[in-house]
Amino acid sequence: MDYRPQDLDRKWQSRWTSSRAFEVEVDTSRPKFYCLEMFAYPSGHAHVGHVRNYIIGDVMARTKRMRGYNVLHPFGWDAFGLPAENAAIKGGIHPEVSTRGNIAHMKGQLQRLGISYAWERELATCDTEYYKWNQWLFIRMFEKGLAYRRRSSVNWCTSCNTVLANEQVVDGGCWRCGTPVETRDLEQWFFRITAYADELLDATAGLTGWPEKVLTMQRNWIGRSEGARVKFPLESRAPSPEPQAPSPEIEVFTTRIDTIYGATFVLLAPEHPLVAALADRSPDPASFRQTVQGFRAQDRAARMSGAIEKQGFDTGARAVNPFTGASVPVWVANFVLGEYGTGAVMAVPAHDQRDFEFARKFDLPIKVVVTPDGRPVDASSMGEAAEAYGTLVDSGEFSGLPSADAQKRMIASAKARGIGEGTVQFRLKDWGISRQRYWGTPIPMIHCPEDGIVPVPDAELPVVLPHVAQFSGRGDSPLAQVAEFVNVRCPRCGGPARRETDTMDTFVDSSWYFYRFADPRNNAQPFDPAAVKYWLPVDFYSGGVEHAILHLIYSRFFARVFRDLGYVDQGEPFKQLLTQGMVLKDGAVMSKSKGNVVDPDTMLQKFGADALRLYVMFVAPPEKEVEWSDAGLEGSYRFLARVWRLVEHWRSAVARSTGTREAAWASLDAAERAMRRKTHDTIRRVTVDIEERQQLNTAVSAMMELVNDLYAFSERAVTGAPTHKSGEEEMAPAAGERPETVDVMREALEALARLLSPFAPHSAEEMWERLGHADSLNAASWPTYDAVVARAEEIVVPVQINGKVRSRLTVSVDISEQEMEQLALADPAISSYIAGKTVRKVVVAKGRLVSLVVQ
RNA sequence: GCGGAAGUGGCGGAAUUGGCAGACGCGCUAGCCUCAGGAGCUAGUUCCCGCAAGGGAGUGAAGGUUCGAGUCCUUUCUUCCGCACCA
């Protein structure tokens, strides 16, 4: 029979489904393994880049299943999100319709690849049964003060009169009409992730199964920095008649309080609350405000293009440096960030490059207060700021102290005087989750004129996303236009009230779906804690690096929220993380717009699922980026066909020999022993490569080596090599053929079918069946190896003279170091080299090599 | 600028603990088989010299440690990725 993979795909996929082969239940008597690939946004079509990740996970899942683990391997859909809504605005197809259609298509693609998912646990985040628990959790977080509301700026298109997501801002303009985007302040919901900043940072040290790269990215993202807050009092002017007089001081954050004697001016962010008040007091408030507004608008556009030039202007106000008592000017600067620290900085041009550039540009004073290496620094001639730590000069009572000591003393001094204190500042900000969008989880809150913000009672959850027929892309939040949705009675006072019309960021959906998979149909709670206790943490999590920060940090945050709610007992959800590399085509990431998408279905039709799976695993280690190659895929197909012919060639001989196996191991000849050794060593290598090294490409090459040896072994046996022609016939053992050879072949083919099955499950199942087995390869059928058999009897050991290999010795593996040395010196090739010279040193690495130093 | 990863044949890559560099695959070459081959089987394939035996060179570059370095150390170059006025 010829190798027809497409038939095998169909046959085995339907068998797996009908036998519920991959469905699992909690079973505390067995070790569990939770294997998860990041769930998918249902964009419509999976390309081979996406698919690579699922295959990697499937190899792990199938291997662990065969190793006897109770394997949870679920899949689902990150189904809410902007693209579906954008498509609805442009094409008029309702997000619900397009999303469900896309899910159906992509699910078919994954099924055709034979990925071993527990499909009965499938979930989509747009299911009310799922997002209900987003709402439930939101309310719990609201109760604990972890969800709160405050004003924050959004992108606003004045032409469409609507809020834009960051992705909808293209080159600083609206994605639809190109109108320049403005910022506008709205009341929005936030999650207080900063409450866990320290813990999220510290716990990275315990994530030993994560790539160091990802941990570094998370640490940088959290961005802990130690420093101090110090108040610079504003110089009093004529008493202000205004009732809300500006705050009498400017608080700055600095990590270099040791340089404070050199603080010759103060800079405010354009967003700083004091700026508006200072504008009122300025001689020309209109132009003041216009300049500030210019800075704020510029900031957005400039983020895209890179660096922007430093700009600023003098507010006219002055503040007092609390350490020197000097009067310093207060400026507004475009590069000071409103959302970091206090939104104000003390500028020390001598010791901070940014301040230095600003001072030079605007001719502000530069004062040196730290000498890096003991040599004096001249303020007027320095070309750049001296940022290094050093010894303080010209700093009053602190002069002469090293920077680090000075920082401690200055913080103590500031604290004693009530003008500052040491603080820890994080770069991590609270997570803004409000989206003025339709296709997401409605935020379960009610705004009552009497009672303020009231959560929807648990009994009334879910707040179902109402049907919206028309998506214009204009105006308010889509939900705000649905009167039946918006108008509601206040749960507390019963009076008329309005529902919250914002929906949640879809990162909320993806921050806990891995818990839900443990118990996806629970209607009473987000999940049964006992089920999660059994299945979690995820033992193997794989996905793209693009999620290294947001998704993974939000998930770690949610894990701690669930922990503090008493639902899970530990705060790290992912034990091991693998970030798989992308698949490139013509050197670029696959994308529809580039037109370089490789469609898995086309490959499936040509070569079958197994060849595609095998190729993608073989081409490179999982973390690496790979370039797609049609020729490489063909090579994998050829390999599978080669294995297939080998099985076909031998299977009837193997079937007839049943019963003689094992008995014959003692009477093997040398070639049979070597073949058997190769079989057992291959089992060892493949097992280690998958489970320990997770280097799936070398696992495949180990199997290829085995097959190459089996062909040679087959050639040597009387039956000849399984050529294309002869493969079509069932070969009987030729006259005089040794039964031992058949036994060795059977052991090898059975091992091979099983080792191959995580990679090429359809072909492997079929081969297993054709070798005479009625059971499926699914459960607990991983081959074991005999370490004694796997060990070589003889090895070839190189002999080096002065670092160059001059001869090779074939020796027993058990040979002693002394014997090796003697054999090496007695070797004719070696003795002729060393004749007449002095052997100064002999190094023997047991079982590895002999190295002679000769003069 | 800061941080991270990586540089190995024509190509993808392998080398697990400092011990035979180039496994395995692609591509290419030759032979066999065949009516035919874009199928299959066998052999070859880092570069240079040589009919061969063999010799020499060789893991981005330059040094170093070592009997021995792709692997460890120092310097340096290049590429990719992340962060990027975070005070």
Whether the beta carbon of A115 falls within 7 A of nucleic chain B: the reply is no
Which pLDDT score, from 0 to 100, does residue A721 have?
Answer: 58
- Quickly give A395 CA vs B39 C1' distance in Å: 86
pLDDT along chain A (855 residues), means of 10: 90 95 96 96 89 94 96 97 89 93 96 97 97 98 96 82 74 76 85 93 90 89 92 74 63 95 94 88 88 76 59 91 95 90 94 92 93 79 86 93 94 95 92 90 96 96 91 84 94 95 93 97 96 96 89 94 94 92 81 80 92 94 88 93 91 75 76 91 95 93 94 75 52 60 90 96 95 82 91 82 82 83 83 79 84 83
- Quickly give A685 CA vs B75 C1' distance in Å: 39
Q: Two tokens at A85?
A: 């809504």
- Return all residues near A91 (Cβ < 8 A) that are at least 6 apart: none
Which residues in 285-344 of chain A line strand B, with CB less than 7 A from it?
A: 302-303, 306-310, 334-337, 340-341, 343
Q: Among candidates A260, A579, A770, which has minimal Cα distance to A762?
A: A770
User: Which runs of consecutive H residues, i.e. helices, occur in A193-315?
Assistant: 197-202, 212-222, 273-281, 285-305
**Sign of the dihedral through C-alpha A406, A412, A418, A421:** positive
The residue type found at A359 is: A
Strand A391-392 and strand A588-589: pairing? Answer: unpaired
Which pLDDT score, from 0 to 100, does residue A728 have?
Answer: 43
Structure-token match 């939104």, residue found: A343
Angle of the A739-756 helix axis to the A761-770 helix axis, nearest 10: 150
Q: Among candidates A567, A535, A719, which has minimal Cα distance to A118?
A: A535
- The Cβ of residue A595 has, within 10 Å, a number of other Cβ atoms equal to 9
* Length reported for chain A: 855
Distance, in Å, from the CA atom of A453 to the CA atom of A150, rounded to the nearest integer, reads 12
Whether the beta carbon of A104 falls within 7 A of nucleic chain B: the reply is no
Which pLDDT score, from 0 to 100, does residue A305 have?
Answer: 46
Distance, in Å, from the CA atom of A742 to the CA atom of A654, rounded to the nearest integer, reads 6
Q: What angle do CA A787, A701, A673 make, to 5 degrees?
A: 40
- Quickly give A701 CA vs B68 C1' distance in Å: 29
Distance, in Å, from the CA atom of A101 to the CA atom of A797, rounded to the nearest integer, reads 62
- Quickly give A643 CA vs B19 C1' distance in Å: 35
Q: Two tokens at A787?
A: 């370490």
Q: What angle do CA A308, A379, A316 make, to 5 degrees?
A: 55
Q: Two tokens at A815?
A: 């040979």
- Quickly give A625 CA vs B79 C1' distance in Å: 14
Q: Which nucleotide is nearest to A709 (CA to C1')?
A: B24
The helix or strand, by DSSP H or E, that contains position A265, with its residue range, turns out to be: strand A265-268
Q: Which nucleotide is nearest to A703 (CA to C1')?
A: B24
Q: Which nucleotide is nearest to A796 (CA to C1')?
A: B20
Distance, in Å, from the CA atom of A364 to the CA atom of A250, rounded to the nearest integer, reads 19
Distance, in Å, from the CA atom of A71 to the CA atom of A63, rounded to the nearest integer, reads 10
What percent helix, strand, coil does chain A show, rounded to 5?
A: 40, 20, 40
Which residues in 508-527 of chain A line strand B, with CB less than 7 A from it?
A: none
CB A135 within 8 A of CB A456: yes
CB A660 within 8 A of CB A743: yes
Which pLDDT score, from 0 to 100, does residue A658 have?
Answer: 63
Which residues in 714-733 of chain A line strand B, with CB less than 7 A from it?
A: 715, 721-725
Which residues in 208-227 of chain A line strand B, with CB less than 7 A from it?
A: 212-213, 216-217, 220-221, 223, 225, 227
- Hey, is A552 helix, strand or coil? helix
Q: Two tokens at A72?
A: 């949870």
Whether the beta carbon of A627 falls within 7 A of nucleic chain B: the reply is yes
Q: Which nucleotide is nearest to A802 (CA to C1')?
A: B67
Give the bases of strand B that a protein CB approaches within 7 Å: 3-5, 12-16, 19-21, 23-27, 33, 39-43, 55-57, 67-69, 81-87
Nearest CA to the C1' of B4 belongs to which residue?
A: A213
- Return all residues near A379 (Cβ < 8 A) that are at least 6 apart: A350, A366, A367, A368
DSSP state of A244: S
**What is the ipTM score, two decimals?**
0.94
Which pLDDT score, from 0 to 100, does residue A301 have?
Answer: 54
- The Cβ of residue A596 has, within 10 Å, a number of other Cβ atoms equal to 16
- Quickly give A701 CA vs B22 C1' distance in Å: 14
- Quickly give A806 CA vs B51 C1' distance in Å: 23
- The Cβ of residue A400 has, within 10 Å, a number of other Cβ atoms equal to 11
